[in-house]
Structure 1
Amino acid sequence: MTNIFTCSFSRSRRLSPITLALLALTAQAQQQDDSAKPTSVPGGALAPVFVTANPLGDTDLIAPATALYGDELTRRQTNSLGETLNGLPGVSTTTYGPMVGRPIIRGMDGDRIRLLQNGVAAWDASSLSYDHAVPQEPLTVERVEIVRGPAALLYGGNAIGGVVNTIDNRIPREPVKGVDGAVDASYGGANNARAGEAMVEGGNGRFAFHVDAFDRETSKERIPGFAHSDRQRALDGPDADQAYGSIPNSDGRWHGGAVGTSYTWADGYAGLSYNGYEANYGSVAEDDVRLRMHQDHAAFASEVRNLQGPFSQLKFDFGYTDYEHKEIDNGETGTTFRNHGYEARIEARHRKIGPLEGAIGVQISQNTFSALGDEALVPTTQTTNVALFGLEEWNVTDAFKLSAGARYEHVKQDPTAAGNDKFAGVADRDFNAFSASLGALYKLTPAWAVAGNIAYTERAPALYELFANGPHDATGQYLIGNPDAQKEKAVSADLSLRFASGPNKGSIGAFYSRFRNYLTEYNTGRLVDDDDQVVAPGTDDALNEAVYRGVRAEFYGIELDSKWRVYEHGAHKVDVSLVGDYTHARNIDTDQPLPRISPLRATVAVDYGYGPFGARAEMEHAWAQHRVPEDDLPTASYTKLGVMFTYKFHVGTTHWLAYVRGDNLTNQEIRYASSVVRDIAPEGGRSAMVGLRTTF
């Protein structure tokens, strides 16, 4: 990651992590009065502890992982979590229009990617359907941690592809004295987004509080040409109406806020928080369909350090979520999705056992998901998960480290017909899933290191893979689950070469995963109506019938991430970064490609910093994706150019950051291969955004 801001300023009190991150973005890059003792936070960096990848707080990670915070997170923030992370090594997005995007890691999406909020689940419906948004506002996120590949197994079988953990400070984890806060406002982008957030924190060194509120409203997404691709327009026929210049029904609004409080002491903290989220946005596949979403989430978190006895540290996280969204067609509610439940996770770090340092834990969750209405896709299902996990590390020498992790979980799926005849007779399913991993890190020199991981992972089928039986208009399918589906099993490995010396760093790695029973949708070739009755081609609202089945599959690819300081003279600094990735995925049984896999991508960026000024130019190129299933359409290559300019200043005791960002300056028609609506809803055209952020 490239930092284009620097920070050095004096504060008379200890600040919370989120405030440190914001102040690092907005502080003047200048020397303070010699009588003041500066607190330096280079580039907006928080402490380098990577909490998601390793509960031991290790800074030399074996796992392939990425953290976004401070200036880098600000530069990437967009309307959805998926788009914010898109383009990081191995990460793409499901994008279903400008408002909706869920991360894809190494070609895997849905219930193979675990989305966490402060380490535990915040239940929603985003893994069930591509048109369901992730109810998180990027403006309120302090830090995002992404763990790729087998090292994510500590979070369960449905982290088989990776983990995305968003971290905020709604439960303050460090002492806060006095009152501080931040205000953020921006306008622009291809959908004229008007966004703002305000946050206030305060405390007396023991008790602390946090309050935040946000609002985002957007217009329709502007695009360079037709909404439908050339190939799709040919299939539509000459008489079909074609949207041009913007995507119909792509506008939306969401807003919400949070309150939290905690008690901190020298060896820990304990606190509570509540946050609410409301959204109303259009479905880009259906002009008359709106989605109205509501989520309430309550959390408790605590950590106690320096304990006596066999365990030196204990960490507890709990979250309860009540989620609902309605799909409204021409003003009438068609389907209501509900998901409510809790997740609790306890991690205990034990004292050294011989050469071993480690942690063990318990995770318990239960949620009830329902889809009610005439077009109910799945039955009301209660899912219960109880898991034990552990991680051990052995520092064999100063240069060589080994790690081993394991997780055992019991999953029970309990469906109920709830008066819907098509789900009558569905039976409970129970699964026992086991996962284990081994990892090693060897430092060749102080600057060079090699890291590798290998894992065996089992994943219990998701409720929709088992029990689906209904129309899924978002993908134009009638989905039929496999109630006899077995566990998904995979062997995965990755190997990387890393370099880090001063401002220069880089890594290049390869990964491979082989699945014994990869659960995927298989089109039967039949066209059916909403009642799964065969209809003739050309029938209005005809759906492709698809069933879930297990196949042998493999994924492999490469990932590159690097940054180099190419010039430094006085206050002038120039960094060049290069990021790239490639994923190849296929059905081994048929040798056919798996759907929605991003092509080879590469991004080169140049960052310039001089005092309070910063500038960044970035060029991303994605090659064409012709490796698609028979019923899919390929995507063309594109080259996207973006720039960003920043200026930092202060007024009295407040610190300010002003920025302007230009995206897709060459007005390219961009269609992500990972998007299910790529042929009807491209990405936004040329746009500019201005923003202003202040901290006090």
Structure 2
Amino acid sequence: MFTGVSGSLGATYNFSDKFSLKANLARGFRAPNISEISANGVHPGTNIYQLGNPDFKPEFSMQEDIGLVFSSRYVVATLDLFNNIISNYIYNQKLVTAAGVDSMDGSGDTYFRYVASKAQLYGGEFSIDIHPVKTLHFENSFSLVYGTNKGSQPKSLGDSAKYLPFIPPAHGLSELRYEFSSKPRRLSHAFIKLQLEYSAAQNRVMRAYNTETPTAGYTLFNAGVGGRLSDKKGKTIVNIYLMGNNLFNVAYYDHLSRLKYFYFSPTDTNPTHGIYNMGRNVSLKLDFPLDFVLKSDKRSAPDGAE
């Protein structure tokens, strides 16, 4: 049985109607899940042989975060920074043989084992929405997380084990969106948007034990259009959305994708043979709202009947 106490204490100070500062101190608790404790077999979705650890203790964290918010008629901006120290941080680590090569079972599945260590996660997120007119929005967001292994590591590993594995790289999203409607209100909540999604290269990786490899950065271009069609009485007929993601069909790996390390056979040792993330994808969504009432048949029972 695992026990722990969680709680937080925060405060907000408003410098003006447009500008405010907030701060928070929190203690968190997480019990290891059933997979982290008892896994012992091949994970069919990741092509790895997963091993758990029944001796795990709960994770405890102490986090400080601070945020700034600015809101005006034409601009809304936020900045959030955090620092989190975690004891017994559980993560997945590849196993290697005494010869330094990947440890595999008879079917060629690589062994991974959950391990725990003291860790530090820190970073932040910035977002800004610029809307010079009510119908036009230029939204931007950027997030960054660093993960450092604070536990004891063999000196022979050097810097190859100081980073926590599978930490997402710096990521940003820029969207230009125009919202409109027709004068008779037959078309409402309509929009057209262009979107640029970019991910930086991730080189702060745990190279020790061949746990992970660096991942190149990439940029994706997305676009979409949609809106609501109504009848003369203003009742919604259909909501229509046409969305396109990765329109230039960029071949890329998400750093957190397990399929990046997929080998097609036990003799395949080329990591570039992994499976890329989804290419060009265009989707059409039609949403027809249903509005009806089921009337019950209330017939009176004969006298004396129950």
TM-score (norm 1): 0.35
Identity of aligned residues (%): 24
What is the total number of aligned residue pairs between the two structures? 256
SS in 1 for 2:206: coil
The higher radius of gyration belongs to: 2
2:260 pairs with 1:649: no
- Higher relative strand content: 1
Gaps of 5+ in 1: 1-429, 528-534
In structure 2, what residue type is equivalent to 1:596? F
**C-alpha RMSD of the superposition:** 2.6
Distance 1:482 1:645, change over 3 A: closer
Cα distance, 1:502 vs structure 2: 4.2
- Counterparts of residues 215-234 of structure 1 (less than 5 Å): none
Structure 2 regions of 5+ residues with no counterpart? Answer: 154-160, 183-189, 262-273, 292-306
Partners of 1:627 and 1:480 in 2: CA distance: 25
Tell me which residue corresponds to 2:257. Answer: 675
What is the DSSP-based 3-state SS (H/G/I as helix, E as strand, rest coil) of the residue aligned with 1:583?
strand
The yes-or-no answer on 1:690 pairing with 2:260 is no
Q: How does 1:394-543 map to 2 (within 5 A)?
A: 430-502=1-73, 504-526=75-97, 541-543=107-109
1:537–1:658: structure 2 CA closer, same or farther, 3 Å change rule?
Answer: closer
Separation in 2 of the partners of 1:652 and 1:437?
Answer: 52
1:629 corresponds to which residue? 206
What is aligned with 1:149? none
Cα offset, 1:665, TM superposition: 1.4
Select 2:179's aligned residue among 591, 605, 609.
609
Which of 530, 547, 556 does residue 122 from structure 2 map onto?
Answer: 556
Distance 1:659 1:449 in 2: 37
Query: In 1, distance between residues paired with 2:248 and 2:254?
Result: 17
Superposed counterparts of 1:86-125, under 5 Å: none
Q: What CA distance in whole angstroms lies between the structure 1 residues aligned with 2:44 and 2:179? A: 49
Q: CA deviation at 1:539?
A: 7.3
Amino acid at match of 2:43: H
Secondary structure, aligned partner of 1:578? strand
C-alpha distance in structure 2 between counterparts of 1:477 and 1:642, whole Å: 33
1:633 positional shift: 2.3
Distance 1:601 1:629 in 2: 19
Residue type of the alignment partner of 1:507: T
Distance 1:538 1:455 in 2: 41
Query: C-alpha separation between the residues in 2 aligned to 1:524 and 1:693?
Result: 49
- Corresponding letter in the other structure for 2:113: V
The one-character-per-residue Cα deviations of 1:247-283 (angstroms, maximum 9, x if unpaired) are xxxxxxxxxxxxxxxxxxxxxxxxxxxxxxxxxxxxx
User: Residues 461, 663 of structure 1: CA spacing in aligned structure 2 closer, same or farther, 3 A cutoff?
Assistant: closer
Query: Aligned in 2, Cα 1:694/1:521: closer, same or farther, shift over 3 Å?
Result: closer
- Counterpart of 1:202 in structure 2 is none
Distance between the aligned counterparts of 2:255 and 2:81, measured in 1? 21
Is this contact kept in 1: 2:92–2:165, CA < 8 A?
A: no
Letter in 2 for 1:639: T
CA contact (8 A) 1:526 1:544 kept: no
Given the alignment of the two structures, is residue 598 of structure 1 paired with residue 168 of structure 2, yes or no? yes
AA partner of residue 125 (structure 2): E
CA shift in 2, pair 1:614/1:471, >3 Å: closer
* Counterparts of 1:479 and 1:673, CA distance in 2: 19
- Quote the Cα distance in structure 1 between the aligned partners of 2:73 and 2:13: 19
Distance 2:102 2:112 in 1: 17
Map of 1:195-344 to 2, 5 A cutoff?
Answer: none
Displacement after TM superposition at 1:513 (Å): 0.9
Secondary structure, counterpart of 2:53 in structure 1:
coil
- Offset, 1:694: 3.5
Larger CA deviation: 536-545 vs 643-652? 536-545
Partner of residue 149 from structure 2, selected from 587, 591, 605:
587
Q: 1:525 touches 1:544 (CA, 8 Å); kept in 2?
A: no
In the alignment, what sits opposite 1:665? 247
| Residue 662 to residue 473, structure 1, CA distance change in 2 (3 Å) | closer
Question: Structure 2 length normalisation: TM-score?
Answer: 0.75
1:574 matched to 2:136: yes
Q: Verify the 8 A CA contact 2:119 2:150 in the aligned structure 1.
A: yes
Secondary structure in 2 aligned to 1:598?
Answer: coil
What is the CA distance between 1:507 and its match in structure 2?
0.7
